[in-house]
Copies of this chain bind each other. A is one copy, B any other.
Amino acid sequence: METTLNNNDNVINGRLIYTNHVAQTLDDITARLKPVSVHVLVDANTASFVLPRLQAESQTIGNAHIMETGGAGDLHKNLDTLAGIWQKLGDDGATRRSLLINIGGGVITDMGAFAAATFKRGIRFINVPTTLLGAVDASVGGKSGINFNSLKNEVGVFADAETVIISTTFFNTLNSQELLSGYAEMIKHAMLTSDEMTWRLLRYDVTAFDPDTLLKLLQESVEVKCRYVNADPTDKGLRQALNFGHTFGHAFEELAMERDSPLSHGYAVAFGMVAALILSHMKEGFPSDSLHRYSDYVRDNYGAFPISCKDYDRLLDFMAHDKKNSNPEGYTFTLLKAFGDPVIGAEATTGDIKAALDIYCDMIN
């Protein structure tokens, strides 16, 4: 199946606001929504680094009920934390006309969105992603949920935020690795769009970002995701383009977990996209020079995720599990004919994948 998405499609998404004036924006939106009460969800990180500033600058946040989850990170994205949020919303008197504002990374926005979507059968919520990965990856698409039974996002719903406020003002609290992790998803969006956008992003040094420049790049990137999500809101076809690099990436992530040296999601995707471009070159004629230029960029900025042929079978296991529900016979990938020309549902054999991993080892190790 080839994509038929027209990159010039008009993207109408009034839910997204790009701004570096977050406090004022929150006050403006709240004045319009007139909630009977405002509740704010933060994690330990945003409680320390983001909340005090917003409490001082925004009347809405200053007067809100504050809920802090036990800690930050994926481990806390579970049923216990969710039940605690429901409980606190009830205890703080939230009604169907209240508003929940989720301030944090993907864990907080995913879990807070799910809590809001299910409390009294749904209250309004605003997401304020405070990480680059959260802003680019978790801010559109309406995916919400928690991990359950040791499975990521096993329980959740599709629920749209009233507004997502996308800003770079909080990113000065992130280290280089966190910035690069989010940036990998931006590069992925560029690769789905054009040569020009891809090379422009690879030339930009996100670790020395200027807030307003990065906000513009972020908007351009999120709009790519919006086009795919709008074309396929419930994730049944075209949207799979956004999985580019993720089949390999998730397998690398799980292998790293088994080695007890976890790889952050964005880093896994950065390495996964090298492997996916190799497979794209083999199966779809993706240009070799572009592949090498990207793999040089990854090595220079993300370092290496070394594997050997002894890891291939384990990686294939992970990939088979990753996509087990879609194609029982073979392996399915999103590949690229060229930057801006994705192929969804490309088939590959075990032999293809091992050959691609051989080349990956030569290039990255």
Contacts and interface: CB of A to CB of B under 8 A. Distances in A.
Interface stretch (A99-107, A118-126, A197-205, A295-303): A118-126
Interface string A92-128: 0001110000000000000000000111111000000
A325 B97 contact: yes
A49 interface: no
A154 B97 contact: no
Interface in A116-160: 117-122, 143-145, 148-149, 151, 153-158
Report the copy number of this chain in the oligomer.
2
Nearest to A149: B90
A96 B326 CA distance: 10
A121 B143 contact: yes
B122 A158 contact: yes
A83 interface: yes
A96 to B, nearest CB: 7
Interface footprint category on A? 20 to 34
B122 A90 contact: no
Interface in A223-264: none
Contact of A118 (B91, B97, B156): B156
Nearest to A150: B90
A79 interface: yes
7 contacts: A87-B148, A90-B151, A97-B325, A118-B118, A119-B155, A121-B143, A122-B157
Given A121-B157, A122-B158, 9 more contacts: A83-B148, A87-B149, A90-B154, A91-B149, A96-B325, A119-B154, A121-B145, A122-B157, A157-B157
Interface of A: 36, 79, 83, 86-87, 90-91, 95-97, 117-122, 143-145, 148-149, 151, 153-158, 325
